Amino acid sequence: MEIGALGKSYCDGETIIGQGEAGDCMYVIQEGKAEVIRESEGKEVRLSTLGKGDVFGEMSLFMREARSATVRAIGDTRVLTIDKKTFMRRVNEDPSFAFRILQEMACRIRKLDSDLVDLITRP
Amino acid sequence: MNDNSELKLNNGSRIGVIGGGPAGSFFSHFLLRQARLMDMDLHVDIYESRDFLSAGPKGCNMCAGVISESLVQALSIEGINLPTSVVQRGIDSYVMHSETETVTIRTPSEEMRIATVHRGSGPKGIRETRWKSFDRHLLEIAIETGANLVSRRVKGISLSDGKPLICAKEGEAQVYDLLVGATGINSPSLSLFENLGIGYKRPSTRKTSITELPLGLDAVSEKFGSSMHVFLLDLEGLDFAAFIPKGEFVTMCLIGDGVSRETVDSFLDHPSVKHLLPNARSAAAEACHCSPNISLGDAANPFGDRVVMIGDSGVSRLNKDGVGSAYRTAKAAAKTAIFEGISSDDFRKHYWPICRKISRDNRLGSLIFTTVNMMKGAQFSVRGSLRMCQKEQLKQGGQRRMSMVFWDMFTGSAPYREVFMRTLHPFFFSRLAWEVAMGFRFAGDGGSMVRRELWK
């Protein structure tokens, strides 16, 4: 890791968060890529690929539930952890701080809608 | 006199920001970003005569250059990345030195979440600039968002028919709808705002001493790694001192009410400092040095109709996280200007509460620093505190009450109120009392000045 690199580094294939784990923080990718995987009935389904600047793990900040998916590094990846307390303190002082998370969530809902339509209309 | 209905920003409104440091850049970036959300097109000019691409005092805003853990996280969420070309070193631990002991406190997350940077392009005499200026990085982000950089010195400001006028060197006077003061606390431009007629008065200040020790990349990495070193020494005029590792330099920062050349010398000659850095005195002899002011209190009337002061020239956190205060006040002022208005009343209702929050927190901060100063006079109590820290660090899991108090106090990661509340916990108090009693009992052990590495 470079001396000026912030966050934590993960190697290719290393799990950053695991499905079913408890969690009270979210993450921002500083460098590299990661894949979001959902495990169901022993099979792994890749839901999406994340890149630099993308946020993940934010759902556990709002819902007291276990992680809904596994996120694994693709190649060398560097990730910054955001504490729940830091995030909530900032949102309390400045609600517009959550805009970016809202935008990310809106993009995901749009993608889900599109995937759902593809699935229904697929012959 | 302005009609309050006119005191709003509209499409085409012109905003003049004096100062292109973090406060000015954050303000311009957030103002333009929020204006876009409201389908508003604004014209923003940032006046900054300093060239952040120059090494030495010409390009430097004189600061220790530590970006706090909470700010690194906040900027990351805001989409403001701090790349390795700007961050000189990621910090994950603090090493605390008293007269006789040393304790390492590691970040609870075991992650590099504190950044050390140079505000300019490096100290005077630097041959090759491997890292980019932090201030330039933020300024470029503001320019990418749509702000214009005016690289001229401001020689006068005034209010004409209620509208601000900025007169820059070698240029015509420009009329603006909103004037933003982001000059910092060390700029001569502050007096222009004091003479503007809005009743603004700069915050009280005290001097600090900042020296960039040229040790070289390998020596800095070997000696400091990813740790900052903080000193709680009983030296006259010195509240605390720190060695902040950067790329090829270590920034020596001394804060206190009477930091003078003699204070610096007695610090460099102190056995704790010599033990860590035997060649500190010779390295400091020819090093780039400055004695900037830091803010101690609040500015009086930091806003008026069409005028607002942000960052250090308004209200800033005591001793810590100046860039974090710049971010908070700049964003609050930008939000007020876009969503509420630009009258004195608008700033009082929507901007001032953030300043007041910082200010109230500083009162508790002041109490905490006073207590620490009193403790320094009785080294057995410092020894007791460090013993408590050491035991917490050695233990896997469990509450790290003293470690967190020191961590948040020196990193600026949490408000002083939170730090203060932690010290009121009965377990904290009883444990500290026990360790201080032990420290007093074994006070004689420290007389030989043998440095004990309690935890590494």
Q: Across the interface, do B112 and A8 touch by the CB < 8 Å criterion? A: yes
Contact: B77, A87; criterion CB under 8 Å: yes
How far away is chain B from the Cα of A63, in angstroms, using its nearest Cα?
A: 19
**Residue B148 pLDDT class (50, 70, 90 cuts):** very high
pLDDT for B455 beyond 80: no
pLDDT of A81 over the 60 cut: yes
Total number of domains constituting chain A: 1
- Give me the phi and psi of B18, to 5 degrees please: -100, 110
A21 band by pLDDT with thresholds 50, 70 and 90: very high
pLDDT at B444: 52
Render pLDDT for B292-336 as a digit per residue (tens, 0 to 9).
Answer: 999 888 999 999 999 999 999 999 999 889 999 999 999 999 999
Q: What is the pLDDT of residues B428-441, one digit of tens each?
A: 888 888 888 887 76
ipTM for the predicted complex comes to: 0.92
Top-confidence residue, B164 or B372: B164
The pLDDT of residue B296 is 87
Closest by Cα among B142, B163, B168, B200 to B47: B168
Q: Which domains does chain B have, with CATH numbers?
A: 4-61+134-203+296-362 (3.50.50.60), 206-294 (3.30.70.100), 365-455 (no CATH)
Least confident of B19-33, B193-207, B366-380: B366-380
B246-255: pLDDT as tens digits: 999 999 999 9
A36 or B411: which carries more pLDDT confidence? Answer: A36
Q: What's the pLDDT band for B379 if we cut at 50, 70, 90?
A: confident
pLDDT tens-digit series, residues B117-133? 999 988 987 877 789 99
pLDDT, tens digit (0-9, with 9 covering 90-100), for B9-46? 999 999 999 999 999 999 999 999 999 999 999 999 99
Chain A contact residues (CB < 8 Å to B) = 1-8, 28, 30, 52-53, 55, 80-83, 86-87, 89-90, 93-94, 96-97, 99-101
Q: What is the mean pLDDT of residues A6-22?
A: 95
- Distance CA(A73)–CA(A17), nearest Å, equals 10
Supply the mean pLDDT for chain B: 90
B70 touches chain A (CB under 8 A): yes
pLDDT at res. A41:
86
Residue A64: HSE in the Cβ half-sphere, 13 Å Cα cutoff: 0
Task: Compute the average pLDDT of residues A40-68.
Answer: 90
B241's CB contacts (< 8 A; 6+ apart) are: B230, B231, B233, B252, B253, B254, B255, B267
Domain that holds residue A51: 2-121
pLDDT tens string B233-291: 988 888 889 999 999 999 999 998 878 889 999 999 999 999 999 999 999 988 999 99
B77 contacts A90? CB cut-off 8 A: yes
**How far does the CA of residue A76 sit from the closest CA of chain B (Å)?**
15
Domain of A20, CATH number, reads: 2.60.120.10
Tell me how far CA of residue B251 lies from CA of B147, B227, B248, in angstroms: 32, 13, 10
Residue B397 vs residue B226, higher pLDDT:
B226
Task: For residue B278, give both structure tokens.
Answer: 């035997």
pLDDT band for position B442 (cuts 50, 70, 90):
low
pLDDT digits (tens, 9 = 90+) for B39-97: 999 999 999 999 998 888 888 888 889 999 999 999 999 999 999 999 999 999 999 99
Does any CB of chain A come closer than 8 Å to the CB of residue B34?
yes
Task: Give the pLDDT band of residue B3 (cuts 50, 70, 90).
Answer: low
Q: What's the mean per-residue pLDDT of chain A?
A: 92
Contact A4 B86 (CB under 8 A): yes
